[in-house]
Structure 1
Amino acid sequence: MSARLPSATVADFYRAACLAELDALKPGNVHAYAPGHRMVTADFVASAEVSAPPLAASGARVGARVLGGVEATFAAVGQNTNLGILLLCAPLARAAEADGPLFEGLSAVLGGLDASDAADVFAAIRLASPGGLGKAPRHDVTDADTVPPLLDAMAEAAHRDRIARAYTDGFRDLSGIGLPALAQARAKGLAAPWTTTAVHLAYLTAVPDSHIARKHGPERAEAVRMQAAARLAGLDLAQEPLAALLDYDRFLKREGLNPGTSADFTVATLFADALLAARGERM
Structure 2
Amino acid sequence: MTLTRQQIMIAYLGACRAEIEALKPGNVHRFADGHRMTATQFIESAEVSAPLVCEPRTSVGRRILGAVTATREKVGTNTNLGILLLCAPLAKAAESTTTDFRKDLVRTLDDLDADDARDVFAAIRLTNPGGLGSAEEQDVREEPTVSLLEAMGMAADRDMIARQYTTGFADIFTGGLSAWTGAADRGEEDMWPTIFVYLHFLSSFPDSHVGRKHGIDLAEEIRKEAEMIRRTVTDEMNLSRREKVLLAFDKRLKDMDINPGTSADLTVATLFVCNMNFGLHNPDLNG
Task: Give the TM-score category using the shorter length.
Answer: over 0.9
Cα drift, residue 227 of structure 1: 1.7
2: distance between equivalents of 1:176 and 1:218? 24
2: distance between equivalents of 1:185 and 1:231? 15
Secondary structure of the structure 2 residue equivalent to 1:235: helix
Cα drift, residue 215 of structure 1: 0.5
Question: What RMSD in Å do the two structures reach over aligned CA positions?
Answer: 1.2
1:51 aligns with 2:49: yes
How many pairs are equivalent? 277
2: distance between equivalents of 1:78 and 1:30? 16
Deviates more, 1:213-222 or 1:103-112: 213-222
Cα drift, residue 234 of structure 1: 2.9
Secondary structure of the structure 1 residue equivalent to 2:27: coil
2: distance between equivalents of 1:10 and 1:231? 33
- 1:69-126 Cα offsets, whole Å, 9 max, x none, are 1011001000100000000001100000002211110000000001211111111101
1: distance between equivalents of 2:229 and 2:172? 24
1:178 aligned residue: 176
1:74 aligned residue: 72
Question: 5+ unaligned residues in a row in structure 1: which ranges?
Answer: none
TM-score (norm: length of structure 1): 0.95
Following superposition of structure 1 onto structure 2, how do residues 152-167 of structure 1 map, counting pairs within 5 Å? Answer: 152-167=150-165
Secondary structure of the structure 2 residue equivalent to 1:5: coil
1:126 aligned residue: 125
Cα drift, residue 279 of structure 1: 5.7
- 1:185-228 Cα offsets, whole Å, 9 max, x none, are 11111112111111100111111100001101112111110122
1:60 aligned residue: 58
1:140 aligned residue: 139
Secondary structure of the structure 1 residue equivalent to 2:132: coil
1: distance between equivalents of 2:184 and 2:131? 35
Q: Percent identity?
A: 48
1:107 aligned residue: 106
2: distance between equivalents of 1:231 and 1:153? 35
- 1:30-87 Cα offsets, whole Å, 9 max, x none, are 0010011011101001000000000000111111111111011001000100000000
Following superposition of structure 1 onto structure 2, how do residues 242-257 of structure 1 map, counting pairs within 5 Å? Answer: 242-257=243-258
- Say which of 212, 215, 238 aligns to 1:214: 212
TM-score (norm: length of structure 2): 0.94
Q: Which amino acid aligns with 2:246?
A: L
Given that 1:190 and 1:238 are in contact with CA atoms closer than 8 Å, whether structure 2 keeps it comes out as no
1: distance between equivalents of 2:177 and 2:18? 15
Cα drift, residue 274 of structure 1: 0.9
Secondary structure of the structure 2 residue equivalent to 1:233: helix
Given that 1:83 and 1:128 are in contact with CA atoms closer than 8 Å, whether structure 2 keeps it comes out as yes
Deviates more, 1:115-124 or 1:225-234: 225-234
2: distance between equivalents of 1:257 and 1:41? 17
Question: 5+ unaligned residues in a row in structure 2: which ranges?
Answer: 282-287
Secondary structure of the structure 1 residue equivalent to 2:56: coil
Given that 2:53 and 2:63 are in contact with CA atoms closer than 8 Å, whether structure 1 keeps it comes out as yes
Cα drift, residue 245 of structure 1: 0.4
Given that 2:113 and 2:146 are in contact with CA atoms closer than 8 Å, whether structure 1 keeps it comes out as no
Q: Which amino acid aligns with 1:239?
A: N
1: distance between equivalents of 2:128 and 2:195? 27
1:239 aligned residue: 238
Cα drift, residue 151 of structure 1: 1.5
